[in-house]
Structure 1
Amino acid sequence: MYKIVMDKMCGCAKKDETLHEKWLDKSFATKEEAELEALRLANHANANWCKKHRFYAYEEGDEIRISVEMSCPKEI
């Protein structure tokens, strides 16, 4: 079983009521399924949260981790 784990929870992550229900409180049968859902989570975070941070997914053992760059350059 694979899980998605978030390295750091910024304020936006803590406020997102769907985060745990959709992604963090679930186990996935295959690595591919967990990777796909982790990418969806990273895309959701990058598109919908404050845009002060950038989120990306990477594999570590039986976990797909979501990491956050704490300061993200402003878009031009």
Structure 2
Amino acid sequence: MENLLLFLFMSFLLVILPGPDTGILIQNTISSGKKSGIQTMFGSVAGLMVHTMAVVFGLSALIVKSAYIFSFIKYAGAIYL
């Protein structure tokens, strides 16, 4: 309980600070306009939905346990990028 105030303060900072997705959204909106910003937003949300569904179905637990599956996904993502 002695660190409760510190915990609450750090939690507050984590909630109000923007993440990398917000940064790229702002950058794309300023540099390329409203349409590009909206497309970036939908792309970020689509990625979050895929990750959320993977967690819901327990795929994340399988990936953590299997180095082979993790490596496959890592290299597939690198090839995609």
Higher helix share: 2
| TM-score, shorter chain, exceeding 0.5 | no
TM-score normalized by the length of structure 2:
0.30
Q: Decide which structure has the larger Cα Rg and report it.
A: 2
How high is the TM-score relative to the length of structure 1? 0.32
Answer 1 or 2: which has greater strand percent.
Answer: 1
